[in-house]
Structure 1
Amino acid sequence: MPRAATLPSHQRSRGGASLRFEVARGATRLADLHQASPMRILFPEPEPGEPPLAALVNTAGGLAGGDAVEVGIALGPGAEACVSTPAAEKIYRSLGAETRVAARLEVETGATLEWIPQETILFDGARLTRRLDVDIAADARLLMAEMLVFGRHARGEALHAGSLLDSWRLRRDGRLVWADGMALDGTLRDRLDSPFGFGGAEACATLVLLASAPLEEARDALRAEGMAATILRPGMLILRWLGGAVPVRDGLGQAIRMLRARVLGRPPALPRLWTC
């Protein structure tokens, strides 16, 4: 009797990338770099007045069920850097296994980090578990933002089923100052459409700014533009968006530009990666 054919298991990605910037010879310079496929870090030439720019690139074009990626970003004392992505991250339909993404940010005394990747798109049937851990010194600054899109609406594809477990943990001087999470599982369409849930929104986004300087003027400027900025505690400003994918991205971009100029002393512009 002929032996039954053995089907090969699906190939999974287990990759990651990490870097460390430090101040040397009066400027922020790359001190350490590690990359494992499918993740790579590229370093485009920054625009005038901008800090070093690191571009996180997924060479696979997206992540599927069973894939796992870890990213680590560390800034030494006084270092400055912006970390972004050249395109949206795509989380494809899963056959059952979860896609796992973990990021750890460490910002030491006097350093300034911008963590502003482009949006993550959840395809129908995607199963994503994502965790973001941050450790920041009391006098360091951090501008961080994440955006999630529920389906490829530009192509008429909605998110009907899948799962999402998204958690953030922010520690300042070793003390937990922000813990946030979102958990969705099973049939998602009813929750996304419900007026007591997401109200039919196509996307959501969160922005957190940590700085030692007072943030009241920045908050008031954002509110004058129709954004519901809140100072959760001294030196910590938070904004959230929920709505259509395009308005959410536009609002997030506007807030990033304003805060870069008003708080970080940068040009009022998004990273070049967002606009190329």
Structure 2
Amino acid sequence: MTAYILNLSCPDRQGIVHAVSGFLLERKGNIEEAAQYNDPDTGLFFMRVQFACDAVGQDELRAQLATFADTFGMKWTLHDTTQPMRTVLMVSKEGHCLNDLLFRVKSGLLPLDIRAIISNHREFYQLAASYNVPFHHIPVTAATKAQAEAKAYEVIEAEGAELVVLARYMQILSDDLCKKLSGRAINIHHSFLPSFKGAKPYYQAHDRGVKLIGATAHYVTADLDEGPIIEQDVARVDHSKTVEDFTAQGRDTESQVLARAVKWHSEHRVLLNGHKTVIFK
């Protein structure tokens, strides 16, 4: 049977779970996994359902879902679980996150179809070639930023990318590109946001004498380093560590945090709730 993931959100009211279950039952759908959350602050209801169904074709199922969802004022998405998520990776000169993601995909640990790698430097074209992934070198300067972003977006659209991962891509995206990629671009920031935003967070952290350094994976928005947070983690440090020690120790944390965020997104486990996220792990 074809397996699907249905994500939905709507104003909370009684009977939503019963109605969704009944809708799937009427179409001979078998629920394999389900999770829900009622947000008391916003009054919104969130639900993720994984189910199998062959009695109704996908197009017809979508049409019937649209009619059903109108009754509850739902925002919803439906995904076929057999289709890996088409993804474009972007990177600059730090390749630890890129290398980690490529290895995880090759090992079958991430349901991604890596369509391209975009970089403003040439360092990782051989790494891309070793995984048979097209590599696009698009240099960026202050004078050419708009043209470079236009070229990058052409690649993203040409590959039909559902997800763009900034795997230590050290360029600030324009407001226009952020809007175009809204909800489908994930960034890894080498700090435990909201602390130490912007450039050189390890230097900022070292200067403040912190005892914990961290990493934050978040959705990209026009507000720098303030997008909805998906995942975070920390590593302990002390006064004897240099900035270089912070940077080296932080690489593992960054890679793991980004991998978890990408995995949850690619499995459609992350739902946006304003400037926050609901994650059904």
> Whose strand proportion is higher, 1 or 2?
1
Q: TM-score, normalised by structure 1?
A: 0.30
Higher RCO structure (Cα 8 Å, ≥6 apart): 2
> Whose helix proportion is higher, 1 or 2?
2
